[in-house]
Structure 1
Amino acid sequence: MTQPVQQHWTSPRAGWDEQPPPQQPGWDGPGWEIEREPEPEGNFGRVLVALGIGSLIAIALGVYGSLHEPTGEAISLAGFSSGLHAKAWLATISFALVIVQLLSAMAMWGRLPGVRGGGPVSAKLHRWSGRFAVLVSLPVAAHCLYALGFQSFDTRVLLHSLLGCFFYGIFVCKMIVLARDDQKPWVLPVIGGLVFTGLTALWLTSSLWFFSNVGVQF
């Protein structure tokens, strides 16, 4: 009962694989070190493939928006005074859901202050908030592509058009990477952060600008 806990020790000297002698105060056990499992190497080639597919999606959206003749017909939803108001509010709802995604992801990874381990609740909240965020954004994307197209008559509008293409491209990339469990631990958080950044910038260049210039109304 007083013996040291058994561990697997290795020595740099060939042929040694045994329990080291008990440590004495001030003795570092020369030549001994604990063997640790190597970090998964991951398959970065699959990440590059996912980035390539996402880039093709983003380019395809930009080409369609540039070649398609804008109709000027806005989406019409009950309860909103105009299509632009509906677009601004739907984008705001999507942005709020993405904030929920960010907080739930931080809880899952143990990075949310005051929360120790997200557990299944945070994981489920993370998945469904993301699904609803994309679902709510689809009418907005359809309105932008069909009614307005890819526009560049000023810096804000050009940036907004580019961000729209980027967001859906990086979202597709995330879904592809998410289907694999052999990636480096940093890959998914980085791509997820890009998705969050893209949608945040979209909201800043559209809904926030609209509410600031037109007013917060339905």
Structure 2
Amino acid sequence: MNTDTDTNATVDGPPPRASARAGTVMFLLFAVAGALVALSLGIYGNVHEPTGRPLALLVGFTSLTPMKVWLATAAVVLAIFQVVSAAWMFGWLPTKRKAPAYLSQLHRWSGAIAFVATLPVAYHCLWSLGFSTFDTRTALHSLFGCAFYGAFTTKMLALRSPKMPGWALPVAGGLLFALLIGAWSTAALWYFTQSGVPLR
């Protein structure tokens, strides 16, 4: 019996507990990589001398801040779709209807577009404005923004690895969404609540 068990373990792979432990270790390594990305962005934003001007404005915008605000808001809307579509595909929504096959493609594309929308925002935050800490709101915004790209790195690495435990992607995705909401609420949402500000 022991011989048969050992043979099966060799043929079928490592025991489930060992495999789960290896996946957790791998996820932690990915998290360290993400933390290094976030730290690198924070250091750059802190030591870089802010220019105070945009590199380029998208058509339809006359100033830097409204462009950043609307791009960040678009990313948040797409991220909400990401959360809902992921919950549907995982079977977490209170519905018996199965997620359509095309939803996975929409999920991927919405995520890609959301990420691309954040890039001009992050670039101008770091290049034009730098890592701001002159009050609590801007300090939190800077931390959330840098941490977002660290969490994105972790999630993308985990997404490409077949050894991840079942909880890894939901945790990474949930953290990514929370950081995006944190960065948006401490900048774009705050901006929308101010009176007399330009919207384009």
- Scaled to the shorter chain, the TM-score interval is 0.7 to 0.9
Given the alignment of the two structures, is residue 52 of structure 1 paired with residue 32 of structure 2, yes or no? Answer: yes
User: Which amino acid in structure 2 is aligned with residue 63 of structure 1?
Assistant: I
Deviation at 1:216, TM superposition (A): 7.1
Query: Which one has a larger percent helix, Structure 1 or Structure 2?
Result: 2
RMSD (CA atoms): 1.7
Given the alignment of the two structures, is residue 116 of structure 1 paired with residue 97 of structure 2, yes or no? Answer: yes
Q: Give the length in aligned residue pairs.
A: 182
User: Which amino acid in structure 2 is aligned with residue 41 of structure 1?
Assistant: A
Taking structure 1 as the reference length, what is the TM-score of the superposition? Answer: 0.79
Q: How does 1:79-94 map to 2 (within 5 A)?
A: 79-94=60-75
Deviation at 1:81, TM superposition (A): 2.7
Distance in 2, Cα, partners of 1:183 & 1:154: 39
1:181 to 125, 140, 162: 162
Work out whether residues 91 and 137 of structure 1, in 8 Å CA contact, stay in contact via their aligned partners in 2.
Answer: yes
User: Which amino acid in structure 1 is aligned with residue 79 of structure 2?
Assistant: V
Q: Unpaired runs of 5+ in structure 1?
A: 1-36
Identity percentage over the alignment? 45
Q: Could you say which residue in structure 2 is the equivalent of 1:11? A: none
Deviation at 1:139, TM superposition (A): 0.4
Q: For 1:168-211, what per-residue CA distance to the aligned partner results, in whole angstroms no more than 9, with x for missing partners?
A: 00000000000112221111101100000010111111111011
Q: Could you say which residue in structure 2 is the equivalent of 1:70? A: 50
If asked which structure has higher relative contact order (CA below 8 Å, sep 6+), I would say 2
Work out whether residues 77 and 86 of structure 1, in 8 Å CA contact, stay in contact via their aligned partners in 2.
Answer: yes
Q: Could you say which residue in structure 2 is the equivalent of 1:217? A: 199
Given the alignment of the two structures, is residue 172 of structure 1 paired with residue 156 of structure 2, yes or no? Answer: no
Q: Unpaired runs of 5+ in structure 2?
A: 1-14
Deviation at 1:38, TM superposition (A): 6.0
Work out whether residues 152 and 158 of structure 1, in 8 Å CA contact, stay in contact via their aligned partners in 2.
Answer: yes
Q: For 1:33-63, what per-residue CA distance to the aligned partner results, in whole angstroms no more than 9, with x for missing partners?
A: xxxx968625211111101100000000000
SS at match of 2:123: helix
